[in-house]
Amino acid sequence: MAQCRLTDFFARRRPRPRAASSWAKRTWRTPSPAKLEPSAPAPTKGGSRKRARPSAEPAREELTRDEPAPPARRKLRLPADAVSDPASPAASGSPEHSSPSKKTKKVISAGQLPNLAPQEDKVPSKATFSELKLCLQRARELGARVQELRTSTQRNDAGESSTPEAKEHPAGPCGEKAPAYQRFHALAQPGLPGLVLPYKYQVLAEMFRSMDTIVGMLYNRSETVTFAKVKQGVQDMMRKRFEERNVGQIKTVYPTSYRFRQERNVPTFKDGFKKSDYQLTIEPLLDQEIGNMVPQLTASRLLQRRQVFSQNLVERVREHHRAFLASLNPPMVVPEDQLTRWHPRFNVDEVPDIEPAELPQPPTTEKVATAQEVLAQARSLMSPRMEKALSDLALRTAKPSSPGSPSPELPATPPATPPAPLKGVSQDLLERIRAKEAQKQLAQMTRRPEQEQRLQRLERLPELARVLRSIFVSERKLALTMEVACTRMVGSYHTAMSPGEMEKHVQLLSELLPDWLSLHRIRTDTYVKLDKAADLAVVTARLACLARAEAL
């Protein structure tokens, strides 16, 4: 069934002959105000049910008299003059607002037009203008404050960028706080704890590796190695600043690695250096090879020198660690061959920087700075009168030597007093507690990596015993194969673990508690048998006691 149009509906409601004539003679012209009064209704045809149209202004009538009528389905659109001035009377009487459709005539009816005028004629009051002025003043103040904060932030950033070495040296002379990734670098290292180097020492070791690589490349092709070439290469490799201070630190750690000299007439191809200027040259110290051949800095030598440098860095940290152990109460002494990790309270990243060694400096030409030096050099070239004047000037400019002030005596170190929470506790009890704690820390520092892995497995055994017993209860079997048991335990344990690692835990569990868990080798498979009647609380308590005894 076809859908009927709204225009067809109006056509059907009218008489046939009148509808045809009205449709043909429709002009859509606005009636003239001269012919019709504003209060009189618009003339309508006999069979039509249309409402009376509002009267239009004469100006709008002359503008729209010869224009074609808009289609019946066009939406209501305000003209440009009505949008710019909504209070104008022309906007209310425009024929463009009228439409032959029923909805448009309802919206622009005669009863609704008077209600629009008082709403559009409203003018903002004085209170509104005062509020706007206050808001504008507040916005200006906030903008000025934001600009000041932005300027101060830019100044702070410029001050930080002017000291780029502050990041490489956590404890700078200005006392700036180092970032967290440097202060807690030792705690964030993966793997088992060991003799971890501080962050700044690791950066220095990486600098030595880069420097040794570049020096080896230049030295192997018989090219003079200068600090300018090495500096540019190291900075390109590490993306960090490399200065003579770092070279001095490398010389302090590994004195027999290079020979440094100040030389002239070194060929350079840069605008910043002259051939007559002194330059710092670097030459690696290598053992003489058999056959009087020129030694080469090969890959094996580079690896060996790198290992020596790392060992020297570890030895420097050991010295600070020994001083820390001697300052404890009671003092501790750990054999160097048994030390596998640092003391728990020893802050590795707070180890002081390595003092740079002195590098050869270019010879300085003697410059005359005082009148006495001028008098000493040109005594034979001056007249007696000028010599007397210069001697008088030297006496006037010389400052009397002030007697050295005696250095103040440092106050004696007060005796160590116990802290406030420990007042009233006997000294013997404190000594016993400290001795026991020192013994525990000594055992922890001398523990091997194999022992550390065993302790970690012992700590997991109580939980694994509960998981294994629940698997046997759910399976309702007296024995399970090792593969099935380990697979089920891996799926039930809260930490990710491989089946091979879980098998090692099961074997350790059978070694510690052979009466509760036993392993039986039958042909190519290993079966696990568990005593379900045993009390699980007793089993876990025994495992916890064994773990504590092993840790001591």
CATH code at position 493: 1.10.10.1420
Q: What mean pLDDT is reported for the chain? A: 75
Which range, 94-108, 326-340, 407-421, 479-493, has the best average confidence (pLDDT)? 479-493
pLDDT band at 87 (very low <50, low <70, confident <90, very high): very low
Contact 440, 434 (CB under 8 A): no
Q: What is the dihedral of CA 292, 257, 305, 184, to 10 degrees?
A: -170
DSSP class of residue 339 equals -
Judgement on whether residues 336 and 452 belong to the same structural domain of the protein: no
Given 350, 380, 395, the domain boundary residue is 350
Judgement on whether residues 475 and 346 belong to the same structural domain of the protein: no
Instruction: Look at strands 517-522 and 479-481 and give their pairing.
Output: unpaired
Judgement on whether residues 198 and 341 belong to the same structural domain of the protein: yes
Taking the whole predicted model, whether its pTM rises above 0.85 is answered as no
More confident residue, 37 or 493: 493
Report the SS3 class of residue 258.
Answer: strand
Given 316, 333, 350, the domain boundary residue is 350
Report the SS3 class of residue 525.
Answer: strand
pLDDT band at 200 (very low <50, low <70, confident <90, very high): very high
Judgement on whether residues 343 and 453 belong to the same structural domain of the protein: no
In-domain check, residue 43:
no
For 26, the token pair is 């429709």
| pLDDT for residue 368 is more than 80 | no
% helix, strand, coil for the chain, step of 5: 50, 5, 45
pLDDT band at 189 (very low <50, low <70, confident <90, very high): confident
What 85-90 contacts at long range (C-beta under 8 Å, 24+ apart), as own/partner pairs, is 86/120, 87/117, 87/120, 87/121, 89/57, 90/57, 90/59, 90/60
Residue 461: per-residue pLDDT: 93
Alpha-carbon gap, residue 78 to 108, rounded angstroms: 12
Q: Which residues pair with 283 in a beta bridge?
A: 259
Residue type, 295: P
Lookup result for tokens 């916005």:
139
Instruction: Look at strands 517-522 and 279-284 and give their pairing.
Output: unpaired
Q: Work out the average pLDDT over 72-91.
A: 48
Contact 198, 317 (CB under 8 A): yes
Residue 434: per-residue pLDDT: 85
- Domain range for 307 is 192-287+295-350
Given 350, 373, 396, the domain boundary residue is 350
Poorest-confidence range of 2-11, 283-292, 354-363? 2-11
Alpha-carbon gap, residue 230 to 211, rounded angstroms: 6
pLDDT band at 407 (very low <50, low <70, confident <90, very high): very low
Alpha-carbon gap, residue 182 to 169, rounded angstroms: 9
Backbone angles phi, psi at 517, to 5 degrees: -130, 130
Residue type, 544: A
* Helical H segments across 299-416, by residue range: 299-326, 371-377, 384-397
Which range, 11-15, 95-99, 395-399, 508-512, has the best average confidence (pLDDT)? 508-512
In-domain check, residue 302:
yes
Poorest-confidence range of 18-32, 458-472, 491-505? 18-32
| pLDDT for residue 107 is more than 60 | no
Q: Work out the average pLDDT over 147-151.
A: 86
Looking at the structure of the chain, the number of domains it has is 2
Backbone angles phi, psi at 258, to 5 degrees: -135, 160
In-domain check, residue 277:
yes
In-domain check, residue 220:
yes
Residue type, 202: Q
Report which of 184, 176, 135 is spatially closest to residue 159, judged by C-alpha positions: 176
For 525, the token pair is 């498979």
In-domain check, residue 11:
no
In-domain check, residue 37:
no
In-domain check, residue 490:
yes
Judgement on whether residues 480 and 332 belong to the same structural domain of the protein: no
Residue type, 404: G
In-domain check, residue 472:
yes
Report which of 1, 48, 2, 3 is spatially closest to residue 23, judged by C-alpha positions: 48
